[in-house]
Homo-oligomer: A and B are copies of this chain.
Amino acid sequence: MEFSSLLPTHEMAKHNSPQDCWIVVDDEVWDVTAFAPQHPGGASSILNYAGRDATKAYAEYHAPSLIKDNLPLSCFKGNLDRSTIDKTWARDPSSNAAASGSNPTQAQSDEEKPPLHSIINSYDFEAVAARTASKKTYAFYSTAATDCWSRDMNESMYKRIWFRPRVLHDVSQIDTSTTILGNKVNMPVFICPTGLARMIHPEAEKALGRAAKATGIIEVLSTSASHPVEDIVAQAPDHPFFFQLYVNRERKKSEEVIAKAERLGFKAIFVTVDAAGRGKRESDERLVVDELVINPVTGERANTDKKGGGLTRMMGSYIDQSLTWSDLAWIRSLTTLPIVLKGITTAADAKLAMQHKVDGILLSNHGGRNLDYSPPSILLLLEMHKLCPEVFGQMEVYVDGGIRRGGDIVKALCLGAKAVGIGRTFLYALNYGTEGAEHLVEILKDEMESVMKLLGIKDLSECHPGLVNTADVDHLIPSTEGHPYAKWRPKPRL
């Protein structure tokens, strides 16, 4: 079959099984037989459209370019011959599925959400999302790798850091503003890049972008945003955005992407370095397992293999797992934008980052979603202080993971962070659209102001480690780059 051939619907109809599955998206025909079992949204959401037109369903979740980024060109089978479309073929097969009872992708109705003003903290946003979003959405957002230890510790470690408030300072005027890589922000907060934001709200990153501008913070856009990036940045003209990059196996694609980011006016590139492998996120995988039991095409019990595979297990199969420190020079050569490494978790790598002259590092364990038992992120700031305090003077240091309160932000800043990233909570707030995200920022700002006054500081330049007591966690911080009493192996490798 040639590249430019037009494919009639009766040809399509032959490829309608899990063993041989073609679909149409935007009049392009793709063979997704190999991809379907790896589909982040579960195989059934693709197999429903085996031999049919999936354009509309596709657009609900994905930006147009995504299919090309994820599938090898060999899967492209040609264009649909639209003249052959008839009524039967065109009928949306998803209506069948929707009729058959409880749908894990079905959100509860909007009426069930409590009014936004009754949300008084970030926990409320999560609680509402847990109740009102679809099971699949909440599973995908809330899950983390294996035992979810790092996710939970990200949060609980903040609660083991105390304040040491000072009294009798003039705090009648409070200022929470600062800069991030030179960009002025009203609060030291950026919205972390996340996948599949459209699952909870159709406006997804667009809504977040508007909220970012309205409240004066910055959104970091994901490589796999669910709207085209140009559409998103158009929501907030003259407002800074950052771009998150997964380096593609096909380096050319990354080069194009970076060029485009520059063109669109992004202010920095966040290169993700902690996703060389894929985290095993189990609540996610369980939903997929449940779904696979019945093959949606044939109605028969699926002949599944033994491995589960959740929404994110197979995401990012295009990510280059061979990326090394020496590749940073290549990235540096592509752009003049500031470069930030996202996902540093040791002092040793922070020092390497500094030696490679990046502009910033984001201390992060990917929200606990990739390697469970990675260090709780706030503790990494302490590791930096202990083992490589010099990094604070040479680049900006950020932290994400586990931030729920304005006070958490202040703690991170006292420990040297220039700003913090927040991911999941913005997705939960997005349940209420732009207004929800704005409300979240207002809550956090209000909490920050209250904390700053009571701590005796009037602006963020007054943050310093002496305002926090970390005694409850200090013993958890490594005191050397290697293991303290393991001498049987020569030394920690670089």
Interface residues of A in 346-402 (CB under 8 A from B): 346, 348-349, 352, 370-375, 382, 385-386, 389, 392-393
* Chain B residues in 8 Å Cβ range of A462: 493
Known: A282-B120, A456-B276, A478-B471. A373 touches B488 (CB 8 A): no
- Using known A-B contacts A321-B170, A442-B306, A493-B464, determine if residue A280 contacts B416 with beta carbons closer than 8 Å: no
Q: Does A337 contact B (CB under 8 A)?
A: no
Question: In the complex, A446 Cα to B352 Cα: how many Å?
Answer: 30
Question: Which residues of the other chain, B, contact A71 by a CB distance below 8 angstroms?
Answer: none
Q: Which of A6-14, A59-67, A211-219, A284-292 contacts B (4 or more CB under 8 A)?
A: A284-292
A322 at the B interface (CB under 8 A): yes
CB distance from A13 to the nearest CB of B (A): 29
Least CB distance from A34 to B in Å reads: 18
Least Cβ–Cβ distance between A342 and chain B, in angstroms: 10
A466 engages B451 (CB within 8 Å): no
Contact B120 A164 (CB under 8 A): no
Closest beta carbon of chain B to A173's beta carbon, Å: 9
Kindly state whether residue A304 has any CB partner on chain B within 8 Å. yes
Q: How far is the CA of A286 from the CA of B472 in the complex (A)?
A: 31
Residue A277 lies at the interface, judged by CB distance under 8 Å to chain B: yes
Q: Which of A265-322 contact B (CB under 8 A)?
A: 273-274, 276-280, 282, 285-286, 289-290, 292-293, 304-308, 320-322
Q: How far is the CA of A416 from the CA of B488 in the complex (A)?
A: 9
A104 within 8 A of B: no
Is A100's CB within 8 Å of the partner chain B? no
> Known contacts A385-B486, A466-B481, A471-B478: does B373 contact A407 (CB below 8 Å)?
yes
- Per the bound structure, the CA–CA distance linking A147 and B118 in Å amounts to 17
Find the residue from A370, A373, A449 having the highest chain B CB count within 10 A: A373
Q: How many residues of A contact B (CB 8 A)?
A: 114
Across the interface, A492 reaches (CB within 8 A) one of B149, B324, B346, B466, namely: B466
Tell which of B308, B343, B385, B447 touches A120, judged by Cβ atoms closer than 8 Å.
Answer: B308
User: Which residues of chain B are near A343, meaning CB under 8 Å?
Assistant: 167
A115 contacts the other chain (CB 8 A): yes
Segment of A17-25, A155-163, A198-206 in the binding face: A155-163
| A274–B415 alpha-carbon span in the complex (Å) | 23
Which residue of B has the minimal Cβ distance to A174? Answer: B277
CB distance from A436 to the nearest CB of B (A): 10
Residues of B within 8 A of A372 (CB): 407
Q: Give every chain B residue within 8 A of A482 (Cβ-Cβ).
A: 464-466
- Are A483 and B455 neighbours in the complex by a CB distance under 8 Å? no
A325 interface residue, CB < 8 Å from B?
yes
Q: Is the CB of A471 within 8 A of B476?
A: yes
Contact A450 B385 (CB under 8 A): no
* Chain B neighbourhood of A304, CB < 8 A: 117
CB <8 Å contact, B407 and A348: no
Give the Cβ gap from A378 to chain B, nearest Cβ, in Å. Answer: 13
- Asked if A470 is at the interface (CB within 8 A of a chain B CB), the reply is yes
Are B163 and A373 neighbours in the complex by a CB distance under 8 Å? yes
The answer on a CB contact under 8 Å between A276 and B373 is no
Residues of B within 8 A of A171 (CB): 276-277, 321-322
**Given A172-B322, A466-B493, 20 other A-B contacts at CB below 8 A?**
A117-B289, A117-B292, A121-B146, A163-B371, A165-B345, A167-B341, A168-B352, A172-B321, A276-B456, A279-B450, A280-B450, A306-B439, A307-B446, A464-B489, A464-B492, A466-B481, A466-B486, A466-B491, A469-B478, A475-B475
Give me 30 A-to-B residue pairs in the complex whose CB atoms sit less than 8 angstroms apart, sorted by A's number.
A115-B293, A117-B306, A118-B293, A120-B282, A121-B282, A147-B159, A149-B159, A159-B373, A161-B373, A164-B345, A165-B346, A166-B348, A167-B276, A167-B341, A167-B343, A167-B344, A168-B273, A168-B327, A169-B324, A280-B447, A306-B439, A307-B442, A385-B487, A386-B485, A464-B482, A465-B489, A466-B483, A466-B492, A471-B475, A474-B485
| The 9 nearest A-B residue pairs measured at CB | A277-B453, A466-B492, A465-B483, A465-B486, A371-B454, A466-B482, A167-B273, A172-B321, A172-B322
